[in-house]
Amino acid sequence: MTQAPLAPSRVSPGGGATDGARIEVRGLTKRFGGFVAVDSLDLTVEPGRITGFLGPNGAGKTTTLRMLLGLVRPTSGTATIGGRSYQDLPVPLREVGAALEATNFHPGRTGRDHLRVLAAAAGLPTSRVDELLELVGIPAAARKRAGGYSMGMRQRLGLAAALLGDPRVLILDEPTNGLDPEGIRWLRGFLRHLSSQGKTLLVSSHLLQEVAQTVDDVVIVANGRSVAQGTVDELSGEPTVIARSPRAQELADAARRAGVRLLEPQAGDERGTVRLATGDAAAVGDLAFSAGVPLHGLVAQKADLESLYFRLTSLPSNANRNLSAPAGPGAPADAPHPTTTEGASA
Ligand SMILES: Nc1ncnc2c1ncn2[C@@H]1O[C@H](COP(=O)(O)OP(=O)(O)OP(=O)(O)O)[C@@H](O)[C@H]1O
């Protein structure tokens, strides 16, 4: 099973000074017995950017994050943070904060005590604990036992724990799980705030719509493999205006004269549809009017990361992941990678 080379590093806005906070994954593979959970994964997460690590349940996201954090040993490949594997970081908590599971708290301990214990164990000042609880919005709840916390509160406590060492890199596994809409809105602003400080954020989710508005870059995984990578804009594709006219050819000619590119070779189909590479529906309406061409329909199509996500992640689950099951010519393992993957390469 092979995979096309994927997105090498982009130049980070801060240049070399921030390289110490770049996440790089190369050829990362994890097999559990004969099952390939993560398959030759390459990805780069740049400082000062939020990268969404997206894929359906079981795609291999958590396993990848666990390998990055030294919790699972890769079968092959490398996963580094600032050029070092997690185990080689001198003071990991000061370099990398992670929230992998929202449930991993002693139920009898208050959230505040939980953080104080963590801070003390890591040799970090406990003075930071109250400040962090304020920051994640649970200062009062943090004085109650964590056993009674809602999922959303656990998520916030997990975030506070991840931030204890003021790390430059944050790795968050499904941080929107259990958050209500207000909580998700809060998280978006919070992650933005962190990335504006130059932090590197890798955020996994199986729900594109919960992170699409938050992230700068996207890595989509399916069946253990990366199937697309790029900025949200790159993967959203070109904005499109769809116009319908009984005189489609004349509309197409007018568009061409105005320098608007047609997205289809033919001027129009049987319904007189013309697809144009622009997001400006008003301009298309104006040019139709100027050319004296009647319009029966005009719509600007929204950039469509969502349909790309569903198309790429709706491959038959696990069809290519069992080493003992040979993949046939039509199996996903042999499917060509989408152009979006290559397009994302810098
Ligand atoms: N220790 C393990 N032993 C065997 N299989 C495992 C192990 N850990 C994970 N897997 C399998 O590897 C695949 C990927 O799991 P992983 O948890 O990484 O996916 P995920 O993308 O994080 O999904 P989710 O969104 O459900 O957490 C799954 O099929 C899972 O059952």
Q: For residue 342, give Cα distances in angstroms to 61, 118, 201, 313, 339.
A: 21, 43, 23, 17, 5
Between 161-165, 229-233, 288-292, the lowest mean confidence (pLDDT) is in 229-233
Residues in the chain: 346
Average pLDDT score over residue span 305-325: 70
Domains of the chain: 15-235 (3.40.50.300), 238-301 (3.30.70.100)
Q: Is 70 exceeded by the pLDDT of residue 16?
A: no
Distance from the alpha carbon of residue 57 to the mean position of ligand 1, in angstroms: 8
Nearest to 60 by CA among 176, 221, 206, 201: 221
Q: Report the alpha-carbon distance of residue 285 to residue 221 in Å, rounded.
A: 40
Dist CA 150 CA 59 (whole Å) = 26
Per-residue pLDDT tens digits for 94-121? 899 999 875 677 888 999 999 999 899 8
Contact 30, 72 (CB under 8 A): yes
Closest ligand 1 atom number to CA of residue 318 = 29
Q: Which among 5, 6, 1, 12 has a CA at the least distance from the CA of 36?
A: 1
Of 11-25, 32-46, 256-270, 303-317, the least confident:
11-25
Give the tokens for residue 205: 């989710």
Bigger pLDDT: 18 vs 215: 215
Rounded CA-CA distance 37/139 in Å is 39
The span from the CA of 55 to the CA of 15, in Å, is 30
Residue 38 CA: which ligand 1 atom is closest? Answer: 14
Q: CA-to-CA distance for 158 and 111, rounded, in angstroms? A: 9
- CB of 61 shorter than 6 A to ligand 1: yes
What is the C-alpha to C-alpha distance for residues 30 and 40, in angstroms, rounded to an integer? 8
Give 264-280 as a 3 state SS string.
Answer: CCCCCCCCCEEEECCCC
Residue nearest to ligand 1 atom 9, measured at CA? 63
Per-residue pLDDT averaged across 164-178, rounded? 93
Q: Is the CB of 289 under 6 A from ligand 1?
A: no
SS3 1: coil
Q: Is the CB of 58 under 6 A from ligand 1?
A: yes
How far, CA to CA in Å, does 43 sit from each of 65, 67, 81? 12, 13, 12
**Residue 35 Cα, ligand 1 centroid: separation in angstroms?**
10
pLDDT for residue 8? 33
Minimum-distance ligand 1 atom for the alpha carbon of 62 = 22
Confidence of residue 344 (pLDDT cuts 50, 70, 90): very low
Mean pLDDT, rounded, of the chain: 82
Q: Which atom of ligand 1 is nearest to the CA of 35?
A: 5
Residue nearest atom 8 in ligand 1 by C-alpha distance: 63
Record the tokens describing residue 213, joined without a space. 């508005």
Task: Give this prediction's pTM.
Answer: 0.75
- The residue nearest atom 18 of ligand 1, judged by CA position, is 60
- Residue located nearest, by CA, to atom 2 of ligand 1: 32
pLDDT higher at 339 or 158: 158
Most confident of 76-80, 128-132, 172-176: 76-80
- pLDDT tens digits along 43-95: 999 999 999 999 998 999 999 999 999 999 999 999 999 999 999 998 888 89
Answer whether 27 contacts ligand 1 (Cβ < 6 A).
no
- 334: pLDDT strictly greater than 50: no
The set of residues, in sequence order, having a beta carbon less than 8 Å from that of 121 and lying 6+ positions away, is none
pLDDT value, residue 315: 63
Lowest mean pLDDT among 1-15, 67-81, 183-197: 1-15
Task: For residue 74, report the distance from its CA to the centre of ligand 1, in Å.
Answer: 14
State the Cα–Cα distance between residues 319 and 333, nearest whole angstrom.
8
Nearest atom of ligand 1 to the alpha carbon of 174: 25
Atom 1 of ligand 1: nearest residue by CA position: 32
Q: What percent of the chain is modeled with pLDDT above 90?
A: 53
- List, as one string, the DSSP characters of 39-102: EEEEEEE-TT-EEEEE--TTSSHHHHHHHHTTSS--SEEEEEETTB-GGG-SSHHHHEEEE--T
Q: Provide the strand spans (E) within the chain.
A: 23-32, 35-45, 50-54, 76-81, 96-99, 169-173, 200-205, 217-222, 225-231, 240-244, 273-276, 297-301
Write the pLDDT tens digit of every residue in 249-292.
999 999 999 999 888 656 666 778 998 989 899 999 999 999 99
Residue 175 CA to ligand 1 centre (angstroms): 17
Kindly report the CA angle at 38 between 35 and 40, in degrees rounded to 5? Answer: 115
Cα–Cα dist 38/166, whole Å: 30
